[in-house]
Structure 1
Amino acid sequence: MTKITNREDVRVLVHTFYDKIRQHDILGPIFNGHITEEQWPAHLSKLTDFWESNLFGVRTFRGSPSKAHVNVDKNLNHTVSQNHFAQWLQLWFETIDELYEGELADRAKEMARRMSTGQYIHIWQNRPRD
């Protein structure tokens, strides 16, 4: 096992993780339904920027994950659930544990746990009220 030390390590993590996501029974159809085959390379690069920014404190990421998640929930008729985020987290933790150890691996897990909670709350707060 190695430690996360640079952007290449983050890229390997992101690519390995999203390879699993794309094949996942529950999450795969959601991601593959919103991101075309042609869009995946750019999306993976942006996600690598996101995690590089969060783990190393460099400013490579620009974007609004919250807005994107709200739009996906809207496109899915407001059916994104806590289970979706739990499945995502389980795969994230599993992938990290297969590839890396150490402080930044632990930080990536904790950040993902907090972000998944925050994203779900943001989605919930932005759903239409009956």
Structure 2
Amino acid sequence: MARIEMKDIRDRKDVFSLVSEFYKTIRKDEMLGPIFNRHIEEQQWPLHLEKLTDFWVTALFGTPCFKGNPGKAHKNVDRNLNYNMSQIHFGKWLQLWFSTIDALFEGEIAQRAKGAARKMATNQYLTIWKNKPEKSRC
């Protein structure tokens, strides 16, 4: 069986492809799907995917196109989940992000996407942890 030639992430189109495939997987995931599907209505997904693509284009290529506050969004989600968002959720998110990258891309930018995701997941978790009521921190 011939191996499919993989390519690196090169442009916004590739980033949109990655983001779209990733969130298709997220929305079906047993742990993360209910969270995302509860907080983002069906008709909001196309705009949300564009915003997430902006985020990753900015993160991967340094092109300043993202406008938003991911920390605020994650704090709101955690509050809506009664402060039950944990490291397990972020770990699952990373696992799915890495497997989606590995299925679609290889190369320097693909690796950069993994490194940026590790940093982002850590920072977002710390942001929500600091926002949790004292009794919810564990």
TM-score range, shorter chain: over 0.9
1:118 maps to: 123
Amino acid paired to 1:59: P
Structure 1 position 72, deviation (Å): 0.1
TM-score (norm 1): 0.98
Runs (4 or more) in structure 1 with deviation over 3 Å come to: none
User: Which runs of structure 2 are paired with 1:1-130 in the superposition (5 Å)?
Assistant: 1-130=6-135
In percent, how many aligned pairs have the same letter?
A: 59
Q: TM-score by structure 2 length?
A: 0.93
Per the TM alignment, residue 14 of structure 1 is displaced from its structure 2 partner at its CA by 0.1
Deviation at 1:128, TM superposition (A): 1.8
- Tell me which amino acid in the other structure corresponds to 1:99: L
CA shift for structure 1 position 64 = 0.3
Supply the distance in 2 between the matched residues of 1:98 and 1:9 (Cα, whole angstroms): 13
Gaps of 5+ in 2: 1-5
The letter for the 2-side match of 1:104 is I
RMSD, aligned α-carbons = 0.6
